[in-house]
Amino acid sequence: MFNLLLFLVTIGILVVIHEYGHFIVARKCGVRVEKFSIGFGPKLYSWYDKNGTEFSLSMIPLGGYVRMLDERVAEVNHTLKDKAFNNKTIAQRAMIIAAGPLANFILAFFIFWLLAMIGFESRKSVILSVEPMSIASQANIPANTVIMEINGQDARSLITAEAILHKLAENKTSSATLILQDMDDETYEFERVLSLSDWQFDPQNQVALTSLGIVFPEYPLNIQEVLSDSPAQKAGLQPGDIITHMNAEPVNSRQEFIHFINYHANETVYLTLMRNSTEIDVMITPEKIVDKQGDKEISKGRIGISFANDPLKDEYMLNNRYNPLTSLWIASKMLTQKVGLILGFLVDAVKGNASIDDIAGPVGIAQAAGSQFSFGMSAYLAFLAFLSINLGIMNLLPIPVLDGGHLLFLAVEKIKGSPVSLKIQQNFYFVGAILLILLMGLTFISDFMRF
């Protein structure tokens, strides 16, 4: 129930911001706004402002709209023709249409700016221990240290350290110079050099630090949920169990465990669990699922569990806080990165390289919102910003019925010197509506397959 309420709040915020962008710019351009609605269907509540605009809250809270005076929709009194949307210049109409997605980008930028001042919490690049005979061991890297830099680049954040190492592997760099800090004495920093000439690293199936023999603090594998009729339920796994070993080998991370399950689809494996301080051994056979990515079919293993979001110790977390001016730069950088990430996914989708698992419908968004909220308000706000960017970009796609489709028609009008005929527009709107219905169907299928 909480996830559902959080989902409605999340969608409500994004819709209000998006539609307010259209609304405020329409007002500034002298267009009469007849209705500002949050949701669709029967009205639950409505009121009018001094300009005669009706504001309403409707029963189905999965969107909203701003209805403007327009001669193409209904007859307009001659005294109000100058306030009709269709009688405004192409530039004004384009600004009104683009203002919705722009408002979503502004919201995301503001959230990132705020978070940069409050402080981003991320995992430190802590070296808990080092595997014997590993590349890290050969470089004489001690335990209980923090990676400060890798080849001169700030690597205090675990995500950043992973990204740097991925880049080194991609460029086939022969060595990496690490600046390390003693966790018991933050004034003591020293240097170690990793030899990467014999580094065997598979970026698709391995964690870079783990492949070097570095063990870092991980979220415990506390089982939160066991799906009904799943291999996990049949094997006797229960919520609250903690997975400690796989085939008698210690499990160091959730990612390592996921790789292990994927690799052993349709094979019997042995798991060691801690249940109420009692060690239990179970046999389980991960079921095989096939994920289609374009022309490729990738087999994965699944046992049907989800893990609890238990926080790490404070000493393993990093808080990056910036002044207001620097935060503007951080926010713009994060916005650019997230836009690039989403555009990259869209390119992969066009090429047929995206998976249905990469998209989420209402259920997936609700669960993700609840999951992020459990990590704290900062995590939830970052998630809200990412969703806002998604909404902005999706609305700019050149699909009729979306803002991008309207902008496309305006571009054609600018080039040919006259509006696109209503009949052609209606035909394209019909096609666009079908595409949106298909996309929504895919998101529901993704939710169904995932949950």
Q: Please give the angle made by the CA atoms of 12, 18 and 22, to the nearest 5 degrees.
A: 135
Token output for 246: 């796989």
DSSP E strands: which ranges in 184-277?
185-195, 214-215, 223-226, 242-246, 249-250, 269-275
The values of phi and psi at residue 321, to 5°, are -120, 135
Report d(CA 306, CA 4) in Å as an integer. Answer: 19
- 68 bridge partner residues: 33
DSSP-assigned letters across all residues of 112-151: HHHHHHH-EEEEB-EE-EE-TTSHHHHTTPPSSEEEEEET
Length of the chain: 451
DSSP-assigned letters across all residues of 303-358: --EEE--PPPPGGGEEEE---HHHHHHHHHHHHHHHHHHHHHHHHHHHHT---GGG
- Cα→Cα distances 344→258, 335, 341, 411, Å: 25, 14, 5, 25
Catalytic residues: 19
DSSP state of 82: G
Token output for 138: 């050969």
Alpha helices in 29-89 (DSSP H): none
* Cβ neighbours of 273 (radius 10 Å): 21
Q: Please name the helix (run of DSSP H) or strand (run of DSSP E) that holds residue 149, with its range, or none.
A: strand 145-150
Report d(CA 262, CA 256) in Å as an integer. Answer: 10
